[in-house]
Amino acid sequence: MAEPLRIALAGLGTVGAGVIRLIEANAALIARRAGRPIQVTVVSARDRNKDRGVDLSAFAWEDDMVILGERADVDVVVEMVGGSDGPALALARTTFEAGKSLVTANKAMIAHHGLELATKAEAAKVALKFEAAVAGGIPVIKGLREGAAANEFQRVYGILNGTCNYILSTMEDTGRDFGNVLTEAQAKGYAEADPAFDIEGTDAAHKLSILAAIAFGAKIDFTAVATTGITRIRAADIAQADALGYVIRLIGMAEPGRNGDGPALFQRVHPHLVPVDHPLAHVDGATNAVVAEGNFSGRLLFQGAGAGDGPTASAVVADLIDIARGEIGAPFSVPVSELEALVPAETGHRAGRSYIRFMVTDRPGVLAELTAAMRDAGVSIESLIQKGRTEEGGEVMVAMVTHEGPESSVSEALRLLDGSPSLTEAPLVLHILED
Ligand SMILES: NC(=O)c1ccc[n+]([C@@H]2O[C@H](COP(=O)([O-])OP(=O)(O)OC[C@H]3O[C@@H](n4cnc5c(N)ncnc54)[C@H](OP(=O)(O)O)[C@@H]3O)[C@@H](O)[C@H]2O)c1
């Protein structure tokens, strides 16, 4: 059999240790499929003495991970450290300077520095692969750039953050409120001690920007993703959505658009109402799912574990198998020089239906004020529900679903209501996912 592909592994946490376990457990079948063994030669992390539940005695240890790519006993560097900048980025740069390939699961680094790193990898004629960076164990990047490569994509969207999906589906199952479920998710390890990155939508936006670049041949532009998290969703919104035939899911969505005559790219991460008969409505717990609509393939659905040591290691080692086979390819599917610089699509003229929830003071005339603003902005109301009567002057919830119309009209209606003493908090607008 051919010479082994020699791996330097930086980061020995959840995913790094998972990669060691997988390479050991499936060594023989990996070697058969890759045409050569895949062998870890050297590892690096912060603490050499930490027990990681895996035997490291067969590997060399490197204190300074940034020089891993320069070592003579290394063909490929696997970066499992994390963080958009810092040691992970320094390691990626030195790896390409040394003419070695890099595999990473680091969506933050690819979202922020993907173009620079892809340019460096292409110049060095080596691989930059990041299957594990989007939706963990689901081979969605391979799905788009290989299996469905013949298609023009009309839309790519999905559930890209397991923490948010766990929280929303648990709120749905139990009727409990956001804060309560978040605390439980943290205790169970489904949410980080600092959950902001997940619940504010940033993690999903990182992943969406990567998917959009690959699906639409665009230069990756994380800053163009309009992002809203799930922190304002109340148990009452979920109950209301349920009564209307929907569930609430945090959806990342990208599709081509036009600004005047020019091509543009629409990218948004936002909680949506998803019809109960849509496949994404049945994606529960920490599961991820991505839908890609190809002009010849039709709707493709990729679903599976979006995180965890095993699934993420599965995606990382699949990238290593590609490299062992000599499959390098452009990191973003087409060479960086051919990626289009697409401007963010203006959202105002987008048409759709929305759910709008108001928290208002319970007194005569408030409902009329809300509906007048809708009328004056040209928003047509499909249904309107006022929940719970209180003592005169207390707070009540008013939820509406609009007919299809421009998103700009809904924004205009909210502008007309801005500063109204009837509102006890800013209205919440959720878009409705259309088939
Ligand atoms: N966990 C998942 O399910 C999952 C899923 C998809 C993608 N990812 C991505 O995979 C990457 C790794 O995630 P993880 O969950 O495995 O993280 P983790 O458990 O926190 O492990 C990080 C590892 O990096 C090492 N490290 C951190 N900072 C370092 C530094 N300054 N110098 C040297 N070593 C350093 C740590 O060393 P010590 O152990 O010595 O402290 C640890 O071994 C991230 O980019 C993450 O976004 C994770």
In the prediction, which pLDDT does 349 show?
78
In the prediction, which pLDDT does 93 show?
98
Average pLDDT over residues 203-217: 98
DSSP code at position 218: B
By CB atoms closer than 10 A (0-12, 13-18, 19+), residue 64 is: exposed
In the prediction, which pLDDT does 101 show?
98
In the prediction, which pLDDT does 192 show?
85
In the prediction, which pLDDT does 189 show?
84
**Closest ligand 1 atom, CA of 46?**
40
- pLDDT(414) > 90: yes
- pLDDT(183) > 90: yes
In the chain the domains, ranked by start, together with CATH numbers, are 5-133 (3.40.50.720), 140-305 (3.30.360.10), 351-432 (3.30.70.260)
Helices vs strands, H then E, count in the chain:
13, 19
The length of the chain, given as a count of residues: 435
Residue with tokens 């320094």: 90
In the prediction, which pLDDT does 5 show?
98
Identify the CA nearest to 163 among candidates 213, 130, 202: 202
| Cβ atoms of 120 and 94 closer than 8 Å | no
What is the longest distance spanned by two Cα atoms in the chain? Answer: 82
Return the number of other C-beta atoms located less than 10 Å from residue 302's C-beta.
21
The secondary structure element, H or E, covering residue 23 is: helix 14-25
**Region of residue 317 (phi > 0: left; psi between -120 and 50: alpha; otherwise: beta):** alpha
- pLDDT(31) > 80: yes
- pLDDT(386) > 90: no
**Region of residue 131 (phi > 0: left; psi between -120 and 50: alpha; otherwise: beta):** alpha
Does the beta carbon of 432 sit less than 6 angstroms from any atom of ligand 1?
no
Out of 9, 15, 197, 309, mutate this one to test ligand 1's pocket (max ligand atoms within 8 Å of CB): namely 15
pLDDT tens for 62-100 read 999 999 999 999 999 999 999 999 999 999 999 999 999
Average pLDDT over residues 220-239: 97
- pLDDT(392) > 80: no
Catalytically active residues, by annotation: 207
User: Nearest-5° angle of CA 296, CA 298, CA 300?
Assistant: 125
Average pLDDT over residues 371-387: 94
Does the beta carbon of 137 sit less than 6 angstroms from any atom of ligand 1?
no
CA of 162 to the centre of ligand 1 (A): 17
pLDDT tens for 273-303 read 999 999 999 999 999 999 999 999 999 999 9
Which residue has its alpha carbon closest to ligand 1 atom 23? Answer: 11
Does the beta carbon of 14 sit less than 6 angstroms from any atom of ligand 1?
yes
pLDDT tens for 317-370 read 999 999 999 999 999 999 999 999 999 998 877 899 999 999 999 989 999 999
In the prediction, which pLDDT does 29 show?
98
Does the beta carbon of 105 sit less than 6 angstroms from any atom of ligand 1?
yes
The pLDDT mean for the chain works out to: 96
Dist CA 129 CA 110 (whole Å): 10
CA of 136 to the centre of ligand 1 (A): 14
**Closest ligand 1 atom, CA of 18?**
16
| Cβ atoms of 347 and 109 closer than 8 Å | no
Out of 56, 312, 314, mutate this one to test ligand 1's pocket (max ligand atoms within 8 Å of CB): namely 312
pTM: 0.96
